[in-house]
Chains A and B, each alone.
Chain A
Amino acid sequence: MDTEDEAVDGVFRALADKSRRALLDTLFARNGQTLSELCEGRGMSRQAVTKHLVILENANLVASVKRGREKLHYLNPAPIHEIGERWISKYERTRLEALFDLKKALESDNGE
């Protein structure tokens, strides 16, 4: 494994791309998808999606399991958790969650 700082660099680099964040969003909506499923409606070549997935896997943001000849991809939140733990203290967490809930509630009110 890389040193801790290299690993964190990898996570931020992986997240600093709109297409890769969209892939994570897709897996958040439905976990355990094949490459073909992840390519659907993305307007991107299979090779491009594969490249993004490799970067996400190297950053440990995506975990995969083999099933026969297929590979299923899963969102792995571990590195994001670790980044959060580094700068969010256990006391701040509840306050942040309360603020986040408030923000969500206000935004959904506005949307209606």
Chain B
Amino acid sequence: MVNDGDERIVPPDLVYVFFIRSTAQQVWDALTSSEFTTKFFFGRSVESDWKQGSPWKMVMADGTLDVFGEVLVSDPPHKLQLTWDVDWGDEPNPPKAAIITYDIEQAGDAVKLTMTQHTTSAIPRKYIQAGAQGWAIILSSLKSLLETGEPLIVKMEPPK
């Protein structure tokens, strides 16, 4: 299984780079604690000890399990790599878990946050597109939260 996040067989299908006026530790904390994720990640909370090999999950405000997986790489506050799986319900050929990598590095007086998404099996295009839009909103909201103390308020419909 690939787990280094850099040299892998499958090229990433999404790479988003955000410069955030914050510290690496604050960005790490925002990604890994519900106190922050409930504000910028469409109300979701997260649960894990964020150690390599540990399970992690993301839960909706009403308690429904949304995303789950395993911590593949944990190097606080610089790198976090997770498998990203969802319940595909009655989807005929449920895709395999995606791999999401957060790289957090100092860039001058800001922090460069790079989010990379690898899907290891075919995922219907509508989900990829909705996901790309969702990530842009989530990460913009994270940036806003850390820089101004206020998240963005954006409503988004699930893909149909």
A interface with B by C-beta (< 8 Å): 1, 7, 31-32, 60, 63-68, 72, 74, 76-78, 81-82, 85, 90, 93-94
Contacts and interface: CB of A to CB of B under 8 A. Distances in A.
State the majority secondary structure of interface residues on A: mixed
Give the bracket for the number of chain B residues in contact with chain A: 20 to 34
A73 B112 CA distance: 17
Contact of A31 (B7, B14, B114): B14
A31 B108 CA distance: 28
A41 to B, nearest CB: 21
B17 interface: yes
A77 B140 CA distance: 10
Contacts of A65: 11-12, 15, 116
Contacts of B136: 77-78, 81
The 7 A-B pairs of least Cβ separation, nearest first, read A74-B15, A63-B17, A63-B15, A1-B108, A90-B153, A1-B110, A81-B140
Contact of A1 (B107, B137, B144, B152): B107
Contacts of B144: 85
